[in-house]
């Protein structure tokens, strides 16, 4: 097992069987986490990039079985923020010193392409890098957002097990989701993907495939989080993922994709009160604090126990900064473009 970790740390390549072996044996977890921490420091440094997350609408037309925002969940109160409010949150985020805004919502037709384009343009006027996380759209829509100034796009593949994908995403197709990711790459976005860990029937082999998919896609950012059962969804009685397994998938991802951006996810902190700091010490280099204000945070309930739902942006900003500095890391003053993405651009010039 130690040799597998050593090989991954030096060569950044593993066979599927080696990944599965690492995931199934817990006796060398500390070595794995330390190796991922070293690779993180060597390739992306000690700076932590903060992304200001704006959850601008919880309306969703899809029915992903694990998610609290699914259309079939009649228990949540839906909202879609007006452009003015969204720009207000982004503008305050810039004031707190954030260099990137992430616009996230359910997948819906609530906003026309023109409306999204207008929001993108106004956020870009604030001097922020902009990430979109608004689901599967057409090539033309992605193109319009890019032209308006969007820099990055997050679309988790969720799972690469096609059978499981089908069961969990009624009416959706794995092929279309993968195509969206390749379209985003073609359009020159910095592309983020990722998966859920601990889904019902998900195997360690399929998690190994997920990691190999990230490599094949040549992703620039990878977000990994444990699945947390939501009582208002069909998966309410499932077990859910563990913090440790999600951390391991994340650490192996860092070993194999050394120069990508990896967030310490909110779902990790939901399962462990120190989850984001532990993740930052096991391969992660990004945190996405919430800058949505008031009741909306609580209403954006993907899963129960979400952190900071009663906190305000200013508090979160101070809180995460002191946590980051307490472990000897610094909050970056740069936009924090994925090193992997920058390198590809230089090679292609």
Kindly list the residues in this chain that would bind ligand SF4 in the complex (CB under 6 A).
Answer: 60, 62, 64, 67, 69-70, 106-107, 135
Instruction: Give the contacts of 252 (CB within 8 A, at least 6 positions apart).
Output: 8, 14, 19, 22, 23, 32, 36, 211
Please name the residues in contact with 48: beta carbons below 8 A apart, sequence gap of 6 or more: 280, 285, 286, 287, 324, 329, 330, 331, 332
Residue 57: in which H helix or E strand, if any? strand 52-57
Question: Taking the complex as a whole, how short is the minimal distance between the CB of residue 315 and ligand FES, in angstroms?
Answer: 5
The sheet carrying 129-133 orders its strands as: 52-57, 100-105, 129-133, 152-154, 190-197, 221-226
| Count of residues of this chain found to bind ligand 5AD when the rule CB under 6 A is applied | 12
**Closest CB 135 distance from ligand FES, rounded Å:** 25
Six token digits for residue 121: 């343009």
The binder of 107, among ligand FES, ligand SF4, ligand 5AD, none, by C-beta within 5 to 8 A per type, is ligand SF4
Q: Does 331 bind ligand FES (CB under 6 A)?
A: no
99 binds, options ligand SF4, ligand 5AD, ligand FES, none, Cβ within 5 to 8 A by partner type: none
C-alpha to C-alpha distance for 325 and 262, rounded to whole angstroms: 18
d(C-alpha 238, C-alpha 224), whole Å: 19
Binding of ligand 5AD by 55 (CB under 6 A): no
- Select 64 or 271, whichever has its Cβ closest to ligand SF4: 64
Residues 6+ apart with CB under 8 A from 116: 132, 134, 144, 145, 148
Is there binding between residue 66 and ligand 5AD (CB under 6 A)? Answer: yes
Residue 74 to residue 68: CA distance in whole angstroms: 10
Q: Could you say whether residue 320 binds ligand FES (CB under 6 A)?
A: yes
Mask 109-148, x = binds ligand 5AD (CB under 6 A)? ----------------------------------------
Cβ nearer to ligand SF4, comparing 21 with 76: 76
Q: Which residue has the tokens 């608004």?
A: 134
Estimate to the nearest angstrom the gap between the alpha carbon of 40 and the chain centroid: 17
Provide, rounded to whole angstroms, the least separation between the CB of residue 266 and ligand FES.
9
| Residue 158 found at the interface with ligand 5AD (CB under 6 A) | yes
Residues 206, 267, 287, 38, CA torsion sign = negative
Using CB under 6 A as the binding rule, whether residue 174 contacts ligand 5AD is answered as: no
- Select from 71-79, 226-234, 245-253, 326-334 the region that touches ligand 5AD (CB under 6 A): 226-234
Give the gyration radius of the chain's Cα atoms.
19
The residue from 142, 227, 243, 300 that contacts ligand 5AD (CB under 6 A) is 227
Is 284 a binding residue for ligand FES by CB under 6 A? The answer is no
Among 20, 230, 281, 285, binds ligand 5AD (CB under 6 A): 230
- Find out whether 143 and 189 touch, Cβ atoms under 8 Å: no
The smaller minimum CB distance to ligand FES, of residues 77 and 311, is found at: 311
Asked whether position 258 contacts ligand FES by CB under 6 A, the answer is no
Contact with ligand 5AD (CB under 6 A) among 53, 67, 101, 308: 67
* Exposure b/e, 59-91, CB count within 10 A at least 16 = b: bbebbbbbbbbbbebeebebbebeeebbbebbe
Catalog residues that contact ligand FES under the rule CB under 6 A: 289, 308, 311, 315-316, 319-320
Catalog residues that contact ligand 5AD under the rule CB under 6 A: 66-67, 156, 158, 196, 225, 227-228, 230, 267, 302-303
């Amino acid at each position: 097992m130690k040799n597998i970790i050593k090989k991954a740390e030096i060569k950044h390549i593993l066979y599927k069987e080696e990944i599965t072996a690492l995931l199934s044996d817990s006796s060398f977890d500390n070595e794995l986490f330390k190796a991922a921490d070293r690779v993180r420091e060597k390739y992306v440094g000690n700076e932590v990039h903060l992304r200001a997350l704006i959850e601008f609408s919880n309306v969703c037309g899809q029915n992903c079985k694990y998610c609290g925002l699914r259309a079939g969940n009649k228990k949540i109160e839906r909202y879609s923020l007006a452009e003015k409010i969204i720009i207000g949150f982004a503008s305050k985020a810039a004031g707190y010193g954030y260099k990137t805004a992430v616009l996230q919502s359910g997948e819906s037709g609530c906003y026309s392409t023109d409306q999204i384009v207008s929001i993108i343009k106004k956020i870009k006027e604030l001097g922020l890098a902009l990430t979109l996380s608004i689901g599967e759209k057409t090539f033309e829509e992605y193109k319009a957002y890019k032209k308006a100034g969007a820099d990055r796009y997050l679309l988790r593949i969720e799972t690469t097990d096609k059978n499981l994908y089908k069961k969990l995403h009624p009416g959706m197709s794995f092929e279309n989701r993968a195509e969206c990711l390749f379209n985003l790459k073609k359009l020159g976005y910095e592309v983020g993907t990722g998966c859920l860990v601990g889904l019902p029937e998900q195997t360690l082999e399929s998690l190994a495939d997920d990691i190999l998919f990230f490599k094949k896609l040549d992703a620039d950012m990878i977000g990994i989080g444990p699945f947390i059962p939501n009582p208002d969804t069909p998966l309410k009685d499932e077990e859910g993922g563990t913090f440790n397994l999600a951390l391991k998938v994340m650490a192996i991802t860092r070993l194999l994709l050394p120069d990508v951006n990896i967030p310490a996810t909110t779902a990790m902190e939901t399962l462990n009160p120190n989850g984001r700091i532990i993740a930052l010490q096991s391969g992660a280099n990004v945190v996405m604090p919430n800058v949505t204000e008031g009741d909306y945070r609580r209403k954006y309930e993907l899963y129960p126990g979400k952190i900071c739902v009663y906190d305000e942006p200013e508090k979160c900003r101070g809180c995460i900064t002191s946590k980051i500095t307490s472990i000897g890391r610094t909050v970056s003053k740069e936009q924090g473009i994925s090193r992997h993405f920058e390198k590809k651009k230089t090679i292609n010039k």
